[in-house]
């Protein structure tokens, strides 16, 4: 729950996407939202095998296609760079195989066609074997800068989630992800493993952590957080995109794990979606973080562990833990009122308060004359997490009990 500081005005939320010096360019920036005519086919009137050659060609080539399956389910997709794309950046198959992909989908039982199941159904794939996603790129396919950005994103992923699902460079693997540079959007990927070599595309101006980790999330098996069946309780779709069910529909047959997570890297961000000012029900993360967290959130990690059970997230290697107790309504600072100096980089804090309590976490920076809040995590629950791209300076953690009392622990990772 949000705590209003009486004496310390809340500074602007300063969670940043991407690296220092790199403009945050989240993936939705590249949604292929241009208009143009939609080619429509109704398989209840004309079965696939009765379509003429011209119509079959349009299924593979037209930018926007809407197919009504025999079950009555409407499937909207775009052909982008040789791939069938749904929901902005998720791939269903190769455009040249459109008729084949549609034929499989047409046989699926009515009501079972969430995008995730669509993707998996079309591909017959799913989880990666041995908790490992082999990846590579062709020599010369990425510039040195682009390669460094992917390496950095993979390092961050593995530091957080490596024990659950690790990305490993392995050009010789049979089933693997190939990083390619492409246009038509900020990024795109299949959902889960489809078998063989599958592309993960990043546009030239989108090589930042947010975009790369978001697409790695898709390739690992994640759907969009903002397309959850219950998303209307937590977010609203921007007015310009409300009618665009191709990219902003709800997916009610996809699996979800835990409450809606504003911190998930699988969210889009304004102006595509906005956090509701009055969310309905329990949620994780902070509404202000929508689309700004350049890492897997705690919720993402739990979801990944649900997809790949049995693994454990490794403890932070460079972290330290602060502990203490707080009464209801009380606050404290760690590691002390004078804080700590920090050379700059990603700064994370993960707070766990007593069960049933509502403890909140703030990251504050010394301006030279006062402490100002630069990041906050104020969910109604007893766990909070902050990931901040922090510049050099003096910082401290501010821990507040909105309700409840007892022991807390705060794990700080630099
Ligand atoms: Zn996406």
List, as residue ranges, the binding site: 214, 218, 224
Distance between Cα 215 and ligand 1 center (Å): 6
The answer, yes or no, to whether residue 12 has pLDDT greater than 70, is no
- Is-contact 211 241, C-beta < 8 A? no
Residue 205 lies in a domain: yes
Region 287-308: what's the mean pLDDT?
A: 87
Region 235-249: what's the mean pLDDT?
A: 82
Give yes or no: 215 in active site: yes
Residue 330 is part of which domain span?
A: 320-413
pLDDT of res. 53: 94
Q: Which residue has the tokens 């050379």?
A: 343
Residue 352 lies in a domain: yes
Q: Which has more confidence, 303 or 53?
A: 53
Residue 103 and residue 178 in one domain:
no
Residue 54 and residue 103 in one domain:
yes
- How many Å apart are CA 152 and CA 267, to the nearest integer? 21
- Is-contact 66 41, C-beta < 8 A? yes
Q: Which has more confidence, 58 or 242?
A: 58
Model pLDDT for residues 352-386, shown as the tens digit of each residue: 888 888 898 999 998 888 888 898 888 888 888 88
Residue 192 and residue 300 in one domain:
yes
Domain of 327, CATH number, reads 2.60.120.380
Residue 218 and residue 278 in one domain:
yes
Residue 64 and residue 167 in one domain:
no
Residue 12 lies in a domain: no
The domain boundary residue, chosen from 51, 72, 107: 107
Share of the chain above pLDDT 90, in %: 36
73 phi/psi in degrees, rounded to 5: -70, 130
Distance between Cα 27 and ligand 1 center (Å): 7
Residue 217 and residue 347 in one domain:
no
Distance between Cα 377 and ligand 1 center (Å): 24
Residue 243 and residue 290 in one domain:
yes
Distance between Cα 203 and ligand 1 center (Å): 13
The answer, yes or no, to whether residue 339 has pLDDT greater than 90, is no
328 phi/psi in degrees, rounded to 5: -60, 130
The answer, yes or no, to whether residue 244 has pLDDT greater than 80, is no
Residue 176 and residue 297 in one domain:
yes
Which of 314-323, 369-378, 393-402 has the weakest average pLDDT? 314-323
Region 30-58: what's the mean pLDDT?
A: 82
Bridge partners (DSSP) of residue 383 are: 352
pLDDT of res. 127: 82
DSSP string, 154-206: HHHHHHHHTTTSEEEE-TT-SSEEEEEE--SSSEEEESSB-SSEEEEEE-GGG
Distance between Cα 373 and ligand 1 center (Å): 30
Distance between Cα 349 and ligand 1 center (Å): 26
Residue 344 lies in a domain: yes
Of the pLDDT bands very low, low, confident and very high (cuts 50, 70, 90), residue 246 is low
Average pLDDT taken over every residue of the chain: 80
The domain boundary residue, chosen from 283, 307, 331: 307
Residue 14 lies in a domain: no
Pair of tokens at residue 17: 């996407």
Which of 123-127, 198-202, 219-223, 337-341 has the weakest average pLDDT? 123-127
pLDDT of res. 172: 96
Closest by Cα among 182, 159, 272, 153 to 224: 272
pLDDT of res. 51: 93
Residue 64 lies in a domain: yes
DSSP string, 103-134: HHHHHSPTT---HHHHHHHHHT-BSPGGGEEE
pLDDT of res. 344: 79
Region 256-280: what's the mean pLDDT?
A: 91
- How many Å apart are CA 85 and CA 373, to the nearest integer? 40
Would you tell me how many other CB atoms lie within 10 Å of the CB of residue 315? 10
Distance between Cα 117 and ligand 1 center (Å): 16
Residue 245 and residue 292 in one domain:
yes
Helix (H, G, I), strand (E, B) or coil at 73: coil
Residue 377 and residue 260 in one domain:
no
The answer, yes or no, to whether residue 76 has pLDDT greater than 60, is yes
pLDDT of res. 346: 81
Domain of 226, CATH number, reads 3.40.390.10
Distance between Cα 224 and ligand 1 center (Å): 6
Of the pLDDT bands very low, low, confident and very high (cuts 50, 70, 90), residue 319 is low
Residue 127 per-residue DSSP state: S
Region 87-106: what's the mean pLDDT?
A: 83
Give the sign of the dihedral formed by CA 116, CA 306, CA 313, CA 224: positive
If one counts the domains in the chain, the total is 3
Residue 74 lies in a domain: yes
The answer, yes or no, to whether residue 17 has pLDDT greater than 60, is no
The domain boundary residue, chosen from 267, 282, 307: 307
Residue 94 and residue 147 in one domain:
no
- How many Å apart are CA 374 and CA 371, to the nearest integer? 9
Q: Which of 215, 225, 384, 412 is catalytic?
A: 215
Pairing state between β 64-68 and 74-80? antiparallel
Residue 216 and residue 101 in one domain:
no
List, as residue ranges, the binding site for Zn(2+): 214, 218, 224
Model pLDDT for residues 176-213, shown as the tens digit of each residue: 999 999 866 789 998 888 888 999 999 999 999 999 99
């Amino acid at each position: 729950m949000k705590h209003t500081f009486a004496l310390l005005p809340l500074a602007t939320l300063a969670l940043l996407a991407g690296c220092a010096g790199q403009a945050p360019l989240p993936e939705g920036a590249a949604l292929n939202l241009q208009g143009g005519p939609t080619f429509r086919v109704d398989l209840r009137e004309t079965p696939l095998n009765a379509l003429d050659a011209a119509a079959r060609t349009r299924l593979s080539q037209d930018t926007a296609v809407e197919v009504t399956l025999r079950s009555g389910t409407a499937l909207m997709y775009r052909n982008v760079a040789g791939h069938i794309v749904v929901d902005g950046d998720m791939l269903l198959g190769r455009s040249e195989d459109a008729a084949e992909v549609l034929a499989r989908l047409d046989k699926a039982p009515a009501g079972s066609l969430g995008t995730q199941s669509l993707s998996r159904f079309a591909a017959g794939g799913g989880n990666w074997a041995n908790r490992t996603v082999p990846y590579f790129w062709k020599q010369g396919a990425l510039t040195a800068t682009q390669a460094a950005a992917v390496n950095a994103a993979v390092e961050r992923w593995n530091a957080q989630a490596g024990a659950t699902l690790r990305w490993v460079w392995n050009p010789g693997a049979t089933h693997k992800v190939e990083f390619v540079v492409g246009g038509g959007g900020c990024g795109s990927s299949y959902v889960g493993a489809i078998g063989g070599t599958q592309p993960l595309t990043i546009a030239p101006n989108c090589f930042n952590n947010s975009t790369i980790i978001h697409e790695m999330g898709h390739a690992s098996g994640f759907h969009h957080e903002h397309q959850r069946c219950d998303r209307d309780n937590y977010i609203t779709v921007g007015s310009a995109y409300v009618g665009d069910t191709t990219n902003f529909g709800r997916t009610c047959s996809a699996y979800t794990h835990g409450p809606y997570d504003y911190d998930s890297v699988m969210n889009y961000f304004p102006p595509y979606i906005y956090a509701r000012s009055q969310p309905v029900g329990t949620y994780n993360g902070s509404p202000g973080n929508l689309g700004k967290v350049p890492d897997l959130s705690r919720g993402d990690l739990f979801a990944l562990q649900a997809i790949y059970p049995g693994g454990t997230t490794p403890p932070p290697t460079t972290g330290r833990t602060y502990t203490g107790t707080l009464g209801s309504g009380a606050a404290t600072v760690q590691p002390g009122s004078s804080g700590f100096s920090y050379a700059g980089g990603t700064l994370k804090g993960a707070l766990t308060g007593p069960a049933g309590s509502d403890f909140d976490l703030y990251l504050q920076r010394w301006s030279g004359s006062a402490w100002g809040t630069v990041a906050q995590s104020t969910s109604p629950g007893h766990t909070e997490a902050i990931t901040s791209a922090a510049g050099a300076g003096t910082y401290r953690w501010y821990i507040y009990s909105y309700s409840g009392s007892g022991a807390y622990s705060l794990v700080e990772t630099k």
